[in-house]
Chains A and B, each alone.
Chain A
Amino acid sequence: MILRPKFKAKMPIEAECISPDILAEKRIENLEVYHGNKRRKLSDLFEILDVKTKDVRIEGDVGNVKYIGAKMRSGKIIIDGNAGMHLGSEMEGGEIFVEGDAGDWVGAEMRGGLIRIKGNAGNLVGAAYRGSKVGMRQGMIIVEGDAGHEIGERMKRGIIAILGDVASFAGAHMKGGTILCFGNMGERTGAEMDRGTIIAFNPLQLLPTFHYNATYNPVFLRFCLRELRKYDLPIADEHITGRYERYNGDLTELGKGEILVWKG
């Protein structure tokens, strides 16, 4: 299915119905979205073509459209431009590819599937919604550009890979899962994390509540990185065979989280 935006308004749109499951199961003419505080038909805002194909391609910029692919279970969404906030939030399966940038809350409380952003992502990638105890539970998010603050906040399982830089508080309150950053990591990385793994391929400023344990070549990481190579990430042989400094923390909390810093 192809969706072509017909709108130019800056008013945000909430379009949870843009999901391969919903588009396949329900009558398209009945699908509604919120445009500002008004209910509109999906077909009022998008030109809908090739309806028999389950996978969805959005041809255009939908940077002001929220909740695309939210709760989706299967299929594929390809967005040729930018994507709005809450992209793939709570998704359980399937794949979302964004050619441009994405807003905040990408893959928030995600339960499975793959999200890949070619550009930058906003804050709170894979995070828990405010008041919720657990963020991302499974799946994978890859951001080829930079990401904002609090990525992986309260995440429990799954993988977030940022090829560029990340801002502050990455992995805050983390309970499990893995964050990889190929660029630079901001301040207070891993703040109040209980468990989970943050892998930094560049030196970073660590909180004083993280303690050094050892320098070694983690076997599990060899396995992990070799698997991630299948996703065309810039993983060099030196990343796989190299040594990492292991710091555990955050000692203000359980202290069983870890930050692995690549030393080459």
Chain B
Amino acid sequence: MQIDGVEIEDTFAEAFKMYATRVLITAKNEKWALASAASMTGFSTSVIMCGCEAGIECEVPPEETPDGRPGTNVLVFAVSEKDLETQLMRRIGQCVMTSPTSACFNNLEGDIKITIGGKLRFFGDGYQISKLLGKRRLWRIPVMEGEFVIEEKFQAQKAVGGGNFLILGKDIDHVLEASEKAVDAIKKVRNVIAPFPGGIVRSGSKIGSRYKFLEASTNTAYCPTLKAMVESELPRDVNSVLEIVLDGLDVESVNEAMRKGIEAACSVDGIIKITAGNYGGKLGKYLIHLHELFGD
């Protein structure tokens, strides 16, 4: 199968069950809503070392936010409900509550409820105030700047982590351009984030290592500089590979994001092949076959 002359390998991405929530951060203006969201989603590329995977999903116009101020949607993914709660507590407490003019609202209807504002409220040292509006309870925590408003509970749901595809090209310039176009296309899909820097990974990994203390190591089969030294998966004319990793609230959204991302990547000259990372289908709950994304 080919798209714009680029070979799409007959393989699949292997994705995993995760737990996710959507946090809406509002602030006085877009600048501060984004600043708070950027801080909250810092150091959150992979659950392996960061505890969660998080990213900015989209900006939200004032007319669609609860307080009528500009907002930013953040998606946070973790491997368990407990991990999700831990990460939300840390990240909202340290990155959102501290951010000037911010407020923090649940923006997901899920079947799992996680108490965050109901715990952060104790920062108010007894001067916190609860407001129940319909079924939503807000906490007003007095801070030096004024008041930090946060919803008592955030809702979460089962989600999908680890959707991916690899872009193989003749050099880094073309592969990076294709990756950037892929990420731009993915950003237009709701319910999905690409948590790595700029949405792109250059250091994909394989399970295991020759060193016993390491559980994962560099993906040697896709390292162009090792083509002649290992059992390489790279054609002779491929000199650079970048990976796009995706997390989504549901597999349909991940599929759509992968489809649009691959199409965008294939529109760039110098791209030779698109493939995906998997573990033989033995570990992940979701197997996303690349050809099936395009109805083949």
Q: Is the CB of A222 within 8 A of B68?
A: yes
Consensus secondary structure, chain B interface: strand
Q: Shortest distance in angstroms between A152's beta carbon and chain B's nearest beta carbon? A: 15
Any A CB within 8 A of the CB of B66? yes
Q: Shortest distance in angstroms between A138's beta carbon and chain B's nearest beta carbon? A: 7
Q: Shortest distance in angstroms between B145's beta carbon and chain A's nearest beta carbon? A: 9
Q: A216-B146, A219-B147, A219-B149 are in contact. Are A224 and B133 (CB under 8 A)?
A: yes
**Beta-carbon nearest neighbor of B139 in chain A:** A220
| Complex Cα spacing A4 to B273, Å | 79
| Complex Cα spacing A195 to B130, Å | 10
| Complex Cα spacing A159 to B133, Å | 8
Q: Which of A127-184 contact B (CB under 8 A)?
A: 138, 157, 159, 176, 178
Instruction: List, in ascending order, chain A residues with CB within 8 A of B129's CB.
Output: 195, 197, 256, 258
Q: A219-B149, A220-B138, A220-B149 are in contact. Are A227 and B131 (CB under 8 A)?
A: no
Q: Which of A173-220 contact B (CB under 8 A)?
A: 176, 178, 195, 197, 214, 216, 218-220
Count of A-B contacts with CB under 8 A? Answer: 48
Interface residues on A, range: 20 to 34
Q: Is the CB of A226 within 8 A of B146?
A: no
Consensus secondary structure, chain A interface: mixed
Instruction: List, in ascending order, chain A residues with CB within 8 A of B67's CB.
Output: 219, 222-223, 226
CB < 8 Å: which of A138, A176, A178, A220 contacts B140?
A220
| Complex Cα spacing A223 to B62, Å | 12
Q: Is the CB of A240 within 8 A of B140?
A: no
The interface bits of chain B over 128-163 (1 if a CB of A lies within 8 angstroms of the residue's CB, else 0) are 011111100010100000110100000000000000
Instruction: List, in ascending order, chain B residues with CB within 8 A of A178's CB.
Output: 131
Instruction: List, in ascending order, chain B residues with CB within 8 A of A258's CB.
Output: 129
A residues at B contact (CB < 8 Å): 138, 157, 159, 176, 178, 195, 197, 214, 216, 218-220, 222-224, 226-227, 240-241, 256, 258
B residues at A contact (CB < 8 Å): 26, 66-69, 103, 127, 129-134, 138, 140, 146-147, 149
